[in-house]
Amino acid sequence: MGLQLYNSLTRRKEEFEPLEKGRVGIYVCGPTVYGHAHLGHAKSYVSFDVLVRYLRYLGYAVTYVQNVTDVGHLTDDADEGEDKIAKEAKKEKTHPMALAEMYTRSFFEDMDRLNCLRPDISPRASGHIIEQIELVKTLVETEYAYEVNGSVYFDVSKFEEYGKLSGRNIEEMQAGARVEVSPDKKNPADFALWKKAEPNHIMQWPSPWGKGYPGWHLECSAMSMKYLGATVDIHGGGLENQFPHHECEIAQSEAANGVQFVRYWMHNNMVTVDSQKMGKSLNNFITLKQAFSGAHERLTRSYEPLAVRQLILNSHYRSPLDFSDAALFAALSGYGKIADVVKGVRKMAPQAPEGDIEGEVAEQLEQFKGRFEEAMNDDLNTSVALSVVFELVRLANTLLEDSSTTAATLGAVDDLFTRLGGDVLGVVKDEYEQTGRAGEAMMDKLVNVLIDQRNQARKDRDFARADSLRDSLDEVGIVLEDTPQKTTWRMK
C-alpha cells in the first residue's frame, strides 16, 4: 500500500496520487511576519517539512511553495480592522516593510535551525499585488464579487459550495456571528478581496477600484495559481485556518478557474500550553528563540533546536501538542541518545574490521526500513517512525560494543540512520560539529590535559585525586565517559 493521507475535505484517509505522475505541488500557508516565530509555527512547518521530505524520499519531484504574508492580514474583518503588520510597525516605529523584512529573516533563521528545508518558492504577498488585482478583476467580471465604496467583496451566496471544507453553512454562521457586520456587505459571510485604503495608510496600491490593499485570503489563491497552477495537489496549513481562510481560498479560486482548487487539504493541530491554545493574540506563546536560549519563565534550560523538532515528531501532526518543559526535556534526552550513537557509528566505521555486512543485521535493517515506511505511509505516523529509529539505536549500540562488527555493517547502519532519521525525519544531522571552531579545539585540548592527569591518577590507583578531577569538570558541566580504550568527554 502506498502513501495514505488524511484529506480534510473528505474527512478520511485517501491513497495519495498526484495530478501529474511523479510530480507534486504543495502550497503551505506561511507566517504573517509581525513577530518572531513560536512553537506553533514550529509544529506546522516541521510537520509539512516532513511531508515534503518523505515525498522526495519516495521519489517524487516536489515543488514546495510557502508564502510570506507581509500585507493585508487584518486584525479582524470588520471595517476598523487594522493591518497586523502596519499596526506592529507603528508600535515599533518602523516602516511596515522593514518590520516584515526583519521578521521574515528571523523566521527563516529559526526554520533553518529546526532543520526545515527551505521552500522552493517563498512568495511575498506584497510582491504579487498585480496577480491579486487580476484575480479580483476576474471575480468582479464574472459577478462573483461586487464593489462598494472602493472595496471589493466576494459574494458568498453565488458560490454554492461555500462551507464544503469546514462543514458549515451560511445560515448557521449568521446565527453565531460575533463580529459587527460591515454595512457594505450584502451578506454577513461575504469577505473582502480588496480594501480601500485611507490616505494615511502606508501600504497601498492603485487598482481599478482606487487606492487600496488586498484582503488576506486573496494572496494564497493568487500565488498558488501562479506557481502551481489552477489545481494544486496538496494545500497545508494550521487547523485554525480551515475556516474562514481556506474556505475563502476555495471559493475565490474555484469561482475564478472553474476547476478544483486543492485535491488534498491537510491541517495540522495546535500547540497548547497548559491546555490553553497558544496564540499570538493570547500572549501565552513561547518563541523559538526563547526555546533555543531558555529565556522564558516556563523553561528550565536552553534547548537544542532539534530537540524541539524531535518533540514535535514524537506525536502525530493531527494531534494537539500540549507543551511542557518536562516533555521538551524528555525529547532532548531522546534526541541526544540518537545523536550519540550516530556519532559513535561514524567514528568507529573507518577503524572497524573489514568484511561483509552481517546477514542477520542486513535483514534487521531491511525490516526496520519496511516498518518505518509503513508508519509514514499511514498518514505520516512520525511517532511510530521514530520508535523504529529508536530500535535502530539499540541495535547500533549493541553492534558498537562488539569489536568484531565490520565496517560494512556499521556503514549500512549509518546509511539507514542518514536516510530515515536524517533525510526523512530531519533529526539526524549529516555532520555533528565536534571541534569546528577555534574555541572548541582549545577547549578539547584543555579538557584532555585534565583527562590525562586523571588517567595517570587512576593508573596510580589514586582514586581520590581521579574523582576530584572528574568532579571539578562536572561542576563546569563536563561529563567524562571511560571506555577500555580511552576517556571521552561531553557537555551535560
Partner RNA sequence: GGCGGCGUAGCCAAGAGGCCCAAGGCGACGGUUUGCAAAACCGUUAUUCGCCGGUUCGAAUCCGGCCGCCGCCUCCA
With cell 525490516, the residue in question is 367
Q: Is there binding between residue 315 and RNA (CB under 7 A)? A: yes
Find the binder of RNA among 51, 376, 408, 480 (CB under 7 A). 480
Closest CA to 33 of 101, 114, 127, 82: 101
> What residues numbered 70-89 form the site for RNA, per CB under 7 A?
73-77, 84
Least distance from RNA to the Cβ atom of residue 393, Å: 6
Find the binder of RNA among 324, 364, 418, 448 (CB under 7 A). 324
Q: Is there binding between residue 277 and RNA (CB under 7 A)? A: yes
* Three-state secondary structure of 261-294: CEEEEEEECCEEECCEECCHHHCCCCEHHHHHHC
Residue 40 Cα distances to 15, 32, 144, 233, 424, angstroms: 28, 13, 35, 24, 21
Q: Is there binding between residue 333 and RNA (CB under 7 A)? A: yes
Task: Give the sign of the dihedral formed by CA 361, CA 365, CA 370, CA 375.
Answer: positive
Q: How far is CA 401 from the centre of its chain?
A: 36
Pick the closer one to RNA by CB: 270 or 428: 270
Pick the closer one to RNA by CB: 85 or 137: 85
Find the binder of RNA among 2, 12, 93, 275 (CB under 7 A). 275
Find the binder of RNA among 2, 59, 176, 477 (CB under 7 A). 176
Find the binder of RNA among 58, 102, 173, 407 (CB under 7 A). 173
Count the neighbouring beta carbons within 10 Å of the beta carbon of residue 302: 13
Q: Is there binding between residue 119 and RNA (CB under 7 A)? A: no
> What residues numbered 379-438 form the site for RNA, per CB under 7 A?
381, 383-384, 386-387, 390-391, 393-394, 397-398, 400-401
Q: Is there binding between residue 158 and RNA (CB under 7 A)? A: no
Whether 428 contacts 339, CB under 8 Å:
yes
With cell 521574515, the residue in question is 104
Q: Is there binding between residue 466 and RNA (CB under 7 A)? A: yes
Q: Is there binding between residue 170 and RNA (CB under 7 A)? A: no
Q: Is there binding between residue 113 and RNA (CB under 7 A)? A: no
With cell 565490520, the residue in question is 406
Q: Is there binding between residue 329 and RNA (CB under 7 A)? A: yes
Helices (DSSP H) in 186-266: which residue ranges? 216-228, 247-257
Pick the closer one to RNA by CB: 81 or 422: 81
Count the neighbouring beta carbons within 10 Å of the beta carbon of residue 116: 23
Q: Rounded to an integer, what distance in angstroms lies between the CA atom of residue 51 and that of residue 54?
A: 5
Q: Is there binding between residue 218 and RNA (CB under 7 A)? A: no
Q: Is there binding between residue 334 and RNA (CB under 7 A)? A: yes
Q: Is there binding between residue 331 and RNA (CB under 7 A)? A: yes
Number of amino acids touching RNA (CB under 7 A): 90
Find the binder of RNA among 94, 166, 364, 448 (CB under 7 A). 166
Q: Is there binding between residue 124 and RNA (CB under 7 A)? A: no
Whether 268 contacts 259, CB under 8 Å:
no
Least distance from RNA to the Cβ atom of residue 438, Å: 27
Pick the closer one to RNA by CB: 191 or 292: 191
Find the binder of RNA among 10, 319, 453, 456 (CB under 7 A). 319
Q: Rounded to an integer, what distance in angstroms lies between the CA atom of residue 27 and that of residue 121?
A: 10
Least distance from RNA to the Cβ atom of residue 428, Å: 14
Closest CA to 218 of 298, 151, 308: 151
